[in-house]
């Protein structure tokens, strides 16, 4: 059993990541720096990371509220609503992009309404942000929901019996327990936004220095047979995502 798990782990995780990094390390420093720190690449890093951060903050805030409502309250259609949360996991992201184009495009009923009021969604950074929010929506909820379900309600009741206010009970008992789960959801959401491609390539104009993100730039490099540039850019994204996960894991272990 241990051998099978090790083989599975090496085959589907270690080998692909190792090959990517080894390919990058075989390049000269001049090649790596010219690709990783080119003006276009730096602009895509800034756009990708800034929009991903905004999206993960939004999803973390509303994800916590939704998880709290699903765990602490009963209402009609609760099970259906709970099941719909996982749709972004199974729905192809290209289909999500087409849906957003149909709704917010110039021919969509809501998109026409927004355009008449001077707001454009498709082919702008706002469209990219909406796509990122959609694809990473479940992470903030599914990371917090199990912790809330396993939380001992008697601790809160004991605090109320001792005279604690609802806000003090939440800040001293509930919130410290939820912090690791919330941070995990944030990092998962952030990493999912960083790697999103299918829906964004349909929603953005993909012009450099306007709304071009790093995954789309990697695909453009592949289309131009620039495998060196694609490998370097992919290694940069992989390094940052691994760094964020490492920091969260260290924090959780300390807690």
77-87 CB burial, b ≥16 within 10 A, e <16? eeeeeeeebee
Q: Is the pLDDT of residue 64 over 70?
A: yes
Whether the per-residue pLDDT at 48 is higher than 90: the answer is: yes
How far out from the chain centre does Cα 186 lie? Answer: 7
What's the pTM value of the predicted model, to 2 decimals? 0.88
Mean pLDDT of the residues in the chain: 86
Here the tokens at position 200 are 């964004």
Ranges of each domain in the chain:
39-254
Domain spanning 39-254, CATH architecture: Orthogonal Bundle (1.10)
Contact 205, 123 (CB under 8 A): yes
Look at residue 176 and tell me whether its pLDDT is greater than 70.
yes
Say which range, 4-8, 59-63, 77-81, has the weakest mean pLDDT: 4-8
Question: What is the structure's pLDDT at 68?
Answer: 92
């Amino acid at each position: 059993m241990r051998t099978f798990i090790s083989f599975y782990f090496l085959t589907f995780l270690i080998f692909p990541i190792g090959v990517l990094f080894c390919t990058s390390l075989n390049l000269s420093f001049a090649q790596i720096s010219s690709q990783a720190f080119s003006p276009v690449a730096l602009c895509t890093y800034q756009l990708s990371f800034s929009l991903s951060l905004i999206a993960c903050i939004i999803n973390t805030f509303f994800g916590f509220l939704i998880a709290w409502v699903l765990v602490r309250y009963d209402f009609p259609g609760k099970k259906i609503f709970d099941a719909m949360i996982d749709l972004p996991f199974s729905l192809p992201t290209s289909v999500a992009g087409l849906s957003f184009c149909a709704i917010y495009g110039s021919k969509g009923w809501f998109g026409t309404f927004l355009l008449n009021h001077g707001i454009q969604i498709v082919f702008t950074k706002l469209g990219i942000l909406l796509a990122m929010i959609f694809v990473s929506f479940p992470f903030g909820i599914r990371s917090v929901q199990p912790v809330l379900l396993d939380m001992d309600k008697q601790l809160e009741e004991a605090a109320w019996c001792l005279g604690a206010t609802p806000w003090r009970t939440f800040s001293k008992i509930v919130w410290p327990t939820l912090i690791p789960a919330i941070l995990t959801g944030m990092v998962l959401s952030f990493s999912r936004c960083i790697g999103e491609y299918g829906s964004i390539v349909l929603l953005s104009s993909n012009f450099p220095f306007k709304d071009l993100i790093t995954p789309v730039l990697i695909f453009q490099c592949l289309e131009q047979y620039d495998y060196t540039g694609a490998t370097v850019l992919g290694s940069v994204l992989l390094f940052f995502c691994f760094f964020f996960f490492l920091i969260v894991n260290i924090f959780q272990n300390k807690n």
